[in-house]
Amino acid sequence: MKAQLISFVVVVFLATQSAFSQQPVMQNYRPLGKARVNIFEAPKSDTIAFNGIHVRLGGAFTQQFQALDHSNQYTTDNANNDSPDEDLYLVGVRNGFNNAVANFNIDVQLADGVRLELITYLSSLHHRETYVKGGFIQFDKLPFINSSAVDNLMNYMTIKIGHMEINYGDGHFRRTDNGNAITNPFVGNYIMDAFDTEIGAEVYFQNSGFIGMVGVTEGEIKGSTKGTNQNSGAAVYGKAGFDKQLNQDLRLRVTGSIYNTEDAVNSNYLYSGDRTGTRYENMVQPMAAQSFRAGRYNPDFKNKITSIMINPFVKYQGLEFFGMYETSAGYKGTDDSKERRVNQMAGELIYRFMDNESFYLGSRYNRVFGELETQDLDAYIERYQISAGWFLTPNILAKLEYVNQKYVDFTAGTLLDNAKFNGVVFEAVVGF
């Protein structure tokens, strides 16, 4: 195994160094390597001059080695049970490599202040075949309008249109997106993973550290003309906050976000929009069938949902804190009497050190609690993560994480009754 990991890192190093040296620069762009860490929205201020249409090809991929174990009220050893219930007994697991996953990025500078981005998943846990995540066109200037008043307005505004990752909360900027894992100090994402791709538009205002954004989408993970006149289908969301480097040592960012849809036509996917899969494969999964979202929690709100997320971020020299508090209420189906509320909180403390912050140590606490099963029964899921990372180059990252997750107060006699998993995961990441 050691020889395989060394060979993998050497090949990746040579490939990425060659590709990275030939990449063109882009305007108002979030890079894919180490430079992407702690960049949230695409930067508005840009000193890159437009010198014609050009295309940037990028990629991101990862490989994990998983050494995790799980248990619940029952047992994974079925030797003394001739006919275990396949819905209650956990699937057997062993240490081993997860399937490698990869993204392919195409960025095109179409005009001065106009950029196109397209992301394709080359391979993922859930889909081994290639398929498109989504894409958008971004306007930081509107040169084709030929208006000085519009030009002045666009000094502070950005417009994004497409089938794209929506900007609800700040957690999605730090999460792992299939092969793109370089911004995540840990291996796993949050338990309640707010991530979705929807068709619509977002309008931003940024000035002197203040941020405002309003977005409107169809409220679905894919386009559809099905439905009735009674279904509005639209989702409206927004963000407001402040993000500024206050001095050489201190950066402060605080944002609040809201997402609302009153009547989704088919089903809302705010907490199940990731089609790529978990980093904790097969954890707390039944023998009968395994989910590609193992280790996560989906409140399964279908038609109506209102979610609010608050995110503070503070970085002082090499020490940074990122926090999350989220509350979400929704309906499973069209029966208004079945509204439930679920909450999430998370806190991360990261210390980056050595030259150019090439090494880091991190810890994260994540808890999801509330009406996780029914209106009358409260339960919670709790996770601790400890990680260490090393940027071998600006485009190669190695991570090691210990994770411990448990399920508390779930209904007796069910799969999650007294369930838990723990262990370590190693991950090698490339982004360029």
- Structural domains of the chain, ranges and CATH numbers in brackets: 2-431 (2.40.160.10)
Taking residue 222's Cβ as centre, other Cβ atoms within 10 Å add up to 12
* Arithmetic mean of pLDDT over the chain: 89
Query: Which whole-number Å values give the CA distances from 414 to 78, 86, 240, 417, in the listed order?
Result: 17, 11, 41, 5
The residue written with tokens 């977002």 in the block is 202
- What span, in angstroms and rounded, lies between the C-alpha atoms of 56 and 133? 18
Written as six digits, the tokens of 38 are: 């702690």
The mean per-residue pLDDT over the stretch 266-276 comes to 86
Residues contacting residue 10 through CB under 8 Å, at least 6 positions apart: none
Structure confidence by residue, pLDDT tens digits, 326-339: 999 998 765 556 78
Taking residue 266's Cβ as centre, other Cβ atoms within 10 Å add up to 16
Taking residue 282's Cβ as centre, other Cβ atoms within 10 Å add up to 21
Question: What letter represents residue 156's amino acid?
Answer: Y
Q: What is the pTM of this model?
A: 0.89
Burial of 249 (0-12, 13-18, 19+ CB in 10 A): exposed
Burial of 345 (0-12, 13-18, 19+ CB in 10 A): middle
Phi-psi region of 421 (alpha: psi -120 to 50; beta: other; left: phi over 0): beta
- What span, in angstroms and rounded, lies between the C-alpha atoms of 401 and 175? 15
pLDDT at residue number 377: 73
More confident residue, 43 or 377: 43
- What span, in angstroms and rounded, lies between the C-alpha atoms of 87 and 31? 44
pLDDT at residue number 316: 98
Query: Which whole-number Å values give the CA distances from 100 to 32, 60, 185, 392, in the listed order?
Result: 18, 11, 19, 19
pLDDT at residue number 75: 61
Question: Which of 267, 258, 379 is CA-nearest to residue 331?
Answer: 267
What letter would DSSP give residue 10? Answer: H
Coil vs helix vs strand at 58: strand
- What span, in angstroms and rounded, lies between the C-alpha atoms of 267 and 305? 10
- What span, in angstroms and rounded, lies between the C-alpha atoms of 155 and 137? 17
Taking residue 86's Cβ as centre, other Cβ atoms within 10 Å add up to 12
Phi-psi region of 3 (alpha: psi -120 to 50; beta: other; left: phi over 0): alpha
Element (H, E) at 383: strand 377-393
Report the C-alpha dihedral over residues 14, 16, 19, 23, rounded to 10 degrees. Answer: -140
Report the C-alpha dihedral over residues 53, 40, 269, 413, rounded to 10 degrees. Answer: 140
Question: Which of 104, 8, 14, 11 is CA-nearest to residue 63?
Answer: 8
- What span, in angstroms and rounded, lies between the C-alpha atoms of 79 and 73? 16
Residues contacting residue 132 through CB under 8 Å, at least 6 positions apart: 118, 119, 120, 121
pLDDT at residue number 431: 94
Coil vs helix vs strand at 430: strand
The mean per-residue pLDDT over the stretch 175-185 comes to 96
- What span, in angstroms and rounded, lies between the C-alpha atoms of 283 and 268? 25
Query: Which whole-number Å values give the CA distances from 76 to 95, 176, 222, 285, 404, in the listed order?
Result: 15, 30, 38, 11, 18
pLDDT at residue number 48: 85
- What span, in angstroms and rounded, lies between the C-alpha atoms of 97 and 355? 31
CB 396 within 8 A of CB 430: yes
Structure confidence by residue, pLDDT tens digits, 367-403: 999 998 776 678 999 999 999 999 999 999 999 999 9
Coil vs helix vs strand at 34: helix
CB 122 within 8 A of CB 100: no
Strand partners, 324: 346
Question: Which of 130, 102, 264, 242 is CA-nearest to residue 196?
Answer: 264
- pLDDT above 90 as % of the chain: 71
Indicate the pairing of strand 157-165 with strand 131-139.
Answer: antiparallel
Structure confidence by residue, pLDDT tens digits, 107-163: 999 999 999 999 999 999 988 889 999 999 999 999 999 899 999 999 999 999 999
